[in-house]
Each structure stands twice: as C-alpha cells, then as structure tokens.
Structure 1
Amino acid sequence: MMSWEWSDIFCHPLWVISTVILAITVRAQRKGSWDPRACPVSLNGKTAIVTGANTGIGKFIALDFARRGARVILACRSEARGTSALKEIIELSGNEDVHLRLVDTSSLDSVQKFATQILEEQKELHILVNNAGASGLPKGITADGLETTFATNHIGPFLLTSLLLDLLKKSAPARIVNVSSLNHRRGKVDFSHFKGENLTYVMDSVYNHTKLHNIIWTNELARRLQGTGVTANSLHPGVVMTEVMRNYNFIVRFLFNLVGFFFFKSSKEGAVSTIYCAVSEETEGITGKYFDSDCSLVLAAPPARDPALGVKEFEICERLTSKL
C-alpha cells in the first residue's frame, strides 16, 4: 500500500503550478480598472491634507498628490515616522512643497490644535482625506471620555472635518474623502458605543462599527454641503497589506501576512480608490456616494443610507465635540 505525507502533496509539481497560477490570477484581478498613472489631472496650486500619511495607503495617496504638484500636508501622529515619510515623498516626487504636521485623531485637543495651525497657515484647502485609522486596539477610554477606536477612527475625523469646513467651502470646488471599509457591512449602530458601552471586543468588531459610522456621517455631511461646491464621499480601499493589523497578536498578524502575500492588495494598490475619489474627473461633482476598491459606485449597507440615522449621527457627534 502506498503511503503519503502532506508534504508530498505540497511539493507535487501540479500543486505548485496550480498555486502559482491562482496567485498570479488573483493578483492581476485585484489591480482594478482605474489607473492613477493614466489620469492627467494636475493639482498645481491646490492644497491637500492626508491623515495617517506616514505609512501604508496614506503615504501612497500623499505621494500621488505630490507628483501632481499639490501642496501636501502629511497629518501624522508620529514625528519620527512622519519625517521619514516626508523625506521619501519629496525625494520620489521632486515636490518640495510637502509638509509634516502632527495630529493624534484619538485626542480632541490634538485635533483642535492641528486645525488651528492649518487655519493659521493655509489660505486654501481643496482636498481632505481622512485616512488615519486603527483596528484591534485594546479596550480603552480616552481623556475625552470616548472609546479609543471610535475616537481614532470616527469622532476625531468628524471634528477635524468640521473645523476645516469653512476653509474647504472658501476654496471650492473641494473634496472630502473618508476611507471606510467593506467591513462596515458587519458593523452595528449603537450610539452608546461612542463612550465604550455595550461593546464586544472580538477581532475587528469595534473597527467594523466605526467604519459603518464613517459612511453614515459622510452621507449626511454630503447632504448638508449641497450647493457649496464641496463634495464628500466614502470608499472601501480593498483588503490591503498595511499595518492596520499591528495591534493584533503574532498569530493573527502572521496568518494575515501569509494569506495577504498571495491575495491582498499592496498599499500602493489600496490607495487607488481614494485617489480616484479625490482627483479624477469622473468623480467631479459626485457626492454622498460609496465606492468599492475597484472605483465603482456601489450601495453601502442599509443603515449607512438611512437619512434619519445621519441626522442623529451629526447631533451626537456635535454634542460630543461641542466643548471645544
């Protein structure tokens, strides 16, 4: 009787060839149909802010804007990593008009100080990309009394956008782009979550909730901005090999990276849908919409499209940030 080991299967030429073909096929399909390199839009004379621009998707978004000639402000939490990204973007783009400003979106005080600095320094703002976010953070409450992941991914970006809204309107046409996730479909709406109540910390559950709130907020923001020349859209960047998993344990990170090597997008590929929403001629004037990782318009989950939830979202977020 023949005996065999699993290693015999994995080393069999047909298995190896099939795996390689599958990986190549998936990697080719994940690139999407819109290519930023084929988009001729210039951003000369424009100013753009990208939060979380020191690594991953944010860095490639900022690099694209810099190559288009924009004044780019890297809004980063880490000065060391931000400085490294700043040098790299200037070197690769040849654009010296790239600047680092520090902000921690989990802190309302930090967001306030950042916005004040921007309003003092900049006369115009044409693109605001709310990209910074975190997943897998441990249970915690910030100094502002907010749940940490919600503060980082949602309340902080909400406040930042609100504080810069008049400048965006003054600079119209302008665009607000909020990076959400397909995971919003697994999120739930419970406004007690904002203060850390009734939450279950299982894998990315809290992250999923925040991404759903991102879209609810974006859609209501778009409604309120009608007629101002400022658009607001949200998007799914794809399943991307970024540092978003850095807060998980070693086993989860290992499996994520192993599977991701074959099937996930690179950070450069993951930046495409955001760049599409921020600069493409096709999205000019479009607002209150949700795009998938292939730059296609798709319907977000039903709660994200509920106007009543959008109104309530704004009321609660404004109340939580009104002390500033």
Structure 2
Amino acid sequence: MSKYIFPVSVFGSVLGCAALLKNYVTGGSCPSKSTIKGKTVIITGANTGIGKETARELARRGGRVIMGCRDMEKCEAAAKEIRGKTLNPHVYAFHIDLASIKSIHQFAERVKQEEQRVDILINNAGVMRCPSWKTEDGFDMQFGVNHLGHFLLTNLLLDKLKDSAPSRVINLASLAHIVGEIDFSDLNWEKKKFETKKAYCQSKLANVLFTRELAKRLEGTGVTVNAIHPGVVSTDLGRHTGLHQSPFSSTVLSPFFSLLVKGPELGAQPSIYLAVAEELEGLTGGYYDVMTLKEPAPQALDQEVARRLWEVSARLVGLKEEKGQASKPIVTTTR
C-alpha cells in the first residue's frame, strides 16, 4: 500500500494548492460575519447567478429579502428554495422588469406600500452584449436595463432609504467601464452602427458615474452608495458572449478559465461584503474591485459628465428634479 501514498499525497497537495490559488485570484469569501436581522434588502435579478447567491446568504444572515425579478416562475422557485435552505421565512418574490418604466414604478409603489423600510438596495440585474434590442420604452437594452432602469428604481426608493438610514445602495458595475465612453449624441445607438461590446461598456461606465453623482447628492442623509466589480463570474449573464462555444476555448482554455473564473457563490461575496461589513459604514462614492477599494477609470471621475448623465437620465425616464438638489463635493475614505 505504501507505494500509493506518495502519488495520492502529491495529488492532494496539488488540489489543495489549486484551491488556495483560486481563492486568492478570485478574492475569496466575505470576511465579515455580521448579521442583518431586522433589515430589509432588495436585490434585482435575484432568481439566478450572483443575485440568487447574494439573496441566499443575506437570508441566512437574517435579512428580510425581496427578490425583484422579471421571470416570476423562476423567482418564486428560487425564493422557495432559499426559504427552505436558510429556514428564513422572510424571502419574497416581487415582479420587476427593468426594461419597462411602468413595471419599475409598479414595483417601487408596491415596496412603498408594503414595506416599512429599505435598508439595502442591491442593483444587481443586468444584460451583457446582447443583440441590438430595445426596451419597452425604446432605449438600447443594455443602457436601459443596466443604467436607466436602476437609476429610476433607486430614485423612486430614496425616501424609504433615507427613512431607514443608515442604509446602503450597491451598484454592480464592471471592470469593462475602463474602456467605456458616454456618447451623449447617441446614447441609444439610433444613429451609429450598433456595437454590442461598446454598448455594454458604456452602460457599465454609467453605473460608476451614477454611483458617484448619487453619493454627492445623498451626502449627510445616512445613505451610502458604492459600485462594485464582482470579478469574472460564470453566470447566464455571459450567454451572448460566445465564450466556451469553440472547441479551442472549451478544451485548451478551459483549465485557465476554471482557475480564474468564479462560480456564482464566490461571485456574490463582494456584494455581500458591501451589504454587511460594519467597517464600511459611512463610506460612500467608492468603486470596489471585488472587495478592494480602488480608483475607477479617469472618465468615471469626470464630475461634469456625471452631472450631465444624471440630468439626461432623469429626463429620459421622466424623473422630476427637486430644486436645490445641487451636487456636493464627495468624500471617500481609503484604507
């Protein structure tokens, strides 16, 4: 039997090292053990992927979790599964279609009527590199869902968030924002040739600009706003990208993908961290690369572009600006 001990031990060591390396490369698990009993959390796109795993963990930590989804059959099934696995009965499925202004208003109105508080809003839902689709209201699908939908939803829930302060807004952005450009002359790709990758990057840059402008406007209210790049995660979000569809990528590149790409459970850890970590209390306007606070791309720091994007977005979704709601200088804390 001794002749088998060395190979087995070496194999075990290799697997262990690979697991540790992947944990390091992908950022690992949320270090905070904080619970959120008594707090209400809203997560969009929560029936699958990062959103579902975020909902599961925040339910396990005692939160009242509202899962906002377009597909109610899948959302109800996911909510039932989470209730069963966490033994938390306060997990609910609400309908919202972020490609519909009408649906967003209906969702927000239901929340305002049925919920006493909103402590954490996680703008998680998104589409990535889809064809040249339009939302119900005629917006480019990626810009409409990833930015405008969450822009409107967040603004409609601001009073609840303020009343529940200290509260948090978390926007799922992407490293892709570093090559994004905001084209105010054609935000919805009605004049130029549609390029799905550029459209996605524009929407992700918009997420970061929105985060910073909202943080300014909410200074002193007790509501913090941060954006996050969760890392490279294998979810349904990438179904339009074509990754792993070629024989080369599925065979030669597969081992590298499995090492560097996270599953949904690990992919949810950054969102969980920003939602629960006590040490982040009061920090706002930041961009987190996984769980590390970093400076975003230069174009994401342009205050004039952020202000203009806010004004254009408000006009597009029919949101009335309150007088005297001027932007204030933002203060972020780095560690």
Q: Given residue 268 of structure 2, which amino acid in structure 1 is its aligned partner? A: A
Q: Write out per-residue CA displacement over residues 247-304 of structure 1, whole angstroms, 9 at most, x where no aligned residue.
A: 34476588489353232011111111111111101211000000011x1110000111
Q: Given residue 285 of structure 2, which amino acid in structure 1 is its aligned partner? A: G
Structure 2 unaligned runs (5+)? 1-10, 321-335
Show the counterpart of 2:22.
27
Report which stretch shifted further, 125-134 or 41-50. Answer: 41-50
Q: Given residue 69 of structure 2, which amino acid in structure 1 is its aligned partner? A: C
Q: Given residue 291 of structure 1, which amino acid in structure 2 is its aligned partner? A: Y
Match of 1:272 among 269, 274, 279: 269
The answer to whether structure 1 residue 285 and structure 2 residue 278 are counterparts is no
The total of aligned residue pairs comes to 305
Residues 193 and 237 (structure 1 numbering): CA distance in 2 closer, same or farther, change over 3 Å?
farther
TM (norm. structure 2) is 0.85
Show the counterpart of 2:77.
84
Alignment of 1:60-209 (within 5 A): 60-198=53-191, 200-202=193-195, 204-209=197-202
Show the counterpart of 1:245.
238
Show the counterpart of 2:207.
214
| 2: CA distance, partners of 1:130 / 1:199 | 29
Is the 8 Å Cα contact of residues 60 and 271 (structure 1) preserved in structure 2?
A: yes
| 2: CA distance, partners of 1:323 / 1:31 | 38
Residues 253 and 116 (structure 1 numbering): CA distance in 2 closer, same or farther, change over 3 Å?
farther
Shift of 1:199: 5.2
Shift of 1:205: 2.4
Q: Write out per-residue CA displacement over residues 161-182 of structure 1, whole angstroms, 9 at most, x where no aligned residue.
A: 0100011001101000000001
Show the counterpart of 1:263.
260
Is the 8 Å Cα contact of residues 74 and 100 (structure 1) preserved in structure 2?
A: yes
| 2: CA distance, partners of 1:208 / 1:99 | 32
| 1: CA distance, partners of 2:196 / 2:187 | 18
Structure 1 unaligned runs (5+)? 1-15
Is the 8 Å Cα contact of residues 99 and 136 (structure 2) preserved in structure 1?
A: no
Residues 24 and 280 (structure 1 numbering): CA distance in 2 closer, same or farther, change over 3 Å?
closer
| 2: CA distance, partners of 1:162 / 1:135 | 23
Q: Identity over aligned residues, as a percent?
A: 39
Show the counterpart of 2:316.
320
Root-mean-square deviation (CA), in Å?
2.4
The answer to whether structure 1 residue 227 and structure 2 residue 220 are counterparts is yes
| 1: CA distance, partners of 2:289 / 2:17 | 23
Q: Write out per-residue CA displacement over residues 97-143 of structure 1, whole angstroms, 9 at most, x where no aligned residue.
A: 00000111111111111111111111100000000001121102223
| 2: CA distance, partners of 1:314 / 1:252 | 38
